[in-house]
Structure 1
Amino acid sequence: MNRQTVTDPQKKNTNRIVAGVCIAFFGGMIGMAYAAVPLYAMFCEATGYGGTVKRATQQYADRVLDRDITIRFDANTSGVPWQFEPVARSVTIKIGETAQAHYSATNKFVRATTGRATFNVQPELAGSYFNKVECFCFTDTTLKPGETLDMPVVFYVDPDIVNAPELKDLKTITLSYTMFPVEKNEKTKPVASTVPAEGTSNKVSHTEGSLGG
């Protein structure tokens, strides 16, 4: 029985197809790897997974309970030459009440530097019920040498937290931010510092009226 002879052009064509499939496969894997990080961050922010604060779809809870809960504020830096700290260490609010807290950041370096904050809450299970309305997280912020910026965060605790068996007796939630350095590029613009008017207070305050998104 005669065997069909494969010619050199046929071999070259087959090799090209195999090479093309391999390149497409590896290119797709690399693309998925790069996309995984932002997609995972979006998933955590939408669900509260891993202690990530949940992004609120509305500015206020549907009800406010006659029950207090204390929110503690924590701040850390990782490589960025800033003094970064909460203006007040804690606040006690009603569950379901929308409140506002302030963080302060000061650039201690001799040149302008850019930072970006990530955040989570403890205990981790509370992340599904801690809703941020306004936040400076995941936003590149550039400070000039010696410049100080007021960084507000607006939030509320979902009243449904009292229906979670593991959290029904929870008295305290800790909101923690970590500021990381970001290499400055052409798209990053300096952010003007917020200087409070004379006689005003930077302390944590409960919000009244409409809140910015």
Structure 2
Amino acid sequence: MSDLADGKQAPEAKKPRSNAMIAGMCVAFVGGMVGMAYAAVPLYDLFCKVTGYGGTTQRVEQYSDRVLDREITIRFDANTAGVPWDFKPVAREMKIKIGETAQAQYKATNRFDAPTSGRATFNVTPEMAGAYFNKVECFCFTDTTLEPGASLDMPVVFYVDPDIVNVPELKDIRTITLSYTFFPLEREKPVAAAPKVDGETTTVNSDVKAGG
């Protein structure tokens, strides 16, 4: 009877260990999925920049060495999302030759009573044209800070890659729209002074909760 009882208890003794192993595997799986999600963001951004997917334009350091005898219209769009600025293109559209280097101007004015900073995102439509819309210089390459009431002229130097005419879906394209949207930059959280202890003062980040 004693051996039989021991035999029955043996499988049950393994259950805690099995449950712990399953729990560990679940935690590892969830952690891996979270890590992959964070890694996917920069990888997707890199993919868009390399391929032009989603209308992402290309950044280049050299001008086109070919200019085709064919014109295309470039339209300019401007938007803000949470930035208290007047932001608009100086001209709504221009005609250029494919391969010709051109410069367009945008203008931003801060209507707020304090300095504000923004970052511009950009894309073109039709989206497939993003891979052939090359920017040599652009205000969107860096963040922008405007003092209260200040205005800033913002140039963008670009050209349309002549290879665009070799793409069946784009060979007859007549218009490309370049669009920018300014988003606010988050300021660093202020640092607050902690209560003095024994005549000394230390600093703590203001977002640290009491007891945490």
Shorter-chain TM-score bucket reads: 0.7 to 0.9
What is the Cα-based RMSD across aligned positions, in Å?
2.4
Give the drift of 1:176. 0.7
Q: Aligned residue for 1:172?
A: 175
What SS does the corresponding residue of 2:75 show, helix, strand or coil? strand
Q: Give me the TM-score of the superposition, normalised by structure 1.
A: 0.75
Q: CA offsets per residue over residues 69-93 of structure 1, 9 Å max, x none?
A: 2211110111211111112222222
> Which blocks of at least 5 consecutive residues in structure 2 are unaligned?
190-212
The residue type equivalent to 2:10 in the other structure is: T
Structure with greater contact order relative to length (CA < 8 Å, sep ≥ 6) = 1
Q: Aligned residue for 2:185?
A: 182
Give the drift of 1:21. 2.7
What SS does the corresponding residue of 2:113 show, helix, strand or coil? coil
Distance in 2, matches of 1:16 and 1:62, equals 65
Equivalent pairs, count:
184
Distance in 2, matches of 1:145 and 1:117, equals 19
Whether 1:31 aligns to 2:35 is: yes
Distance 1:138-1:14 versus aligned 2 partners, 3 A rule = farther
Give the drift of 1:151. 2.0
Give the drift of 1:136. 2.8
Moved more, 72-81 or 30-39: 30-39
Q: Give me the TM-score of the superposition, normalised by structure 2.
A: 0.75
Distance 1:50-1:22 versus aligned 2 partners, 3 A rule = same
Q: Give 1 or 2: higher helix fraction.
A: 2
Q: Aligned residue for 1:103?
A: 106
Q: CA offsets per residue over residues 155-207 of structure 1, 9 Å max, x none?
A: 11010111122222222211011111221127xxxxxxxxxxxxxxxxxxxxx
Q: Aligned residue for 1:5?
A: 10
Whether 1:91 aligns to 2:115 is: no
Distance 1:165-1:29 versus aligned 2 partners, 3 A rule = same
Q: Aligned residue for 2:193?
A: none
Q: Aligned residue for 2:201?
A: none
> Which blocks of at least 5 consecutive residues in structure 1 are unaligned?
187-213
Distance in 1, matches of 2:78 and 2:33, equals 36
Q: Is the 8 A contact 1:59 1:98 kept in 2?
A: no
Give the drift of 1:16. 4.1
Q: Aligned residue for 2:54?
A: 50
The residue type equivalent to 1:28 in the other structure is: G
Of structures 1 and 2, the larger Rg is shown by: 2
Matched residues, percent identical?
A: 70
Distance 1:114-1:17 versus aligned 2 partners, 3 A rule = farther
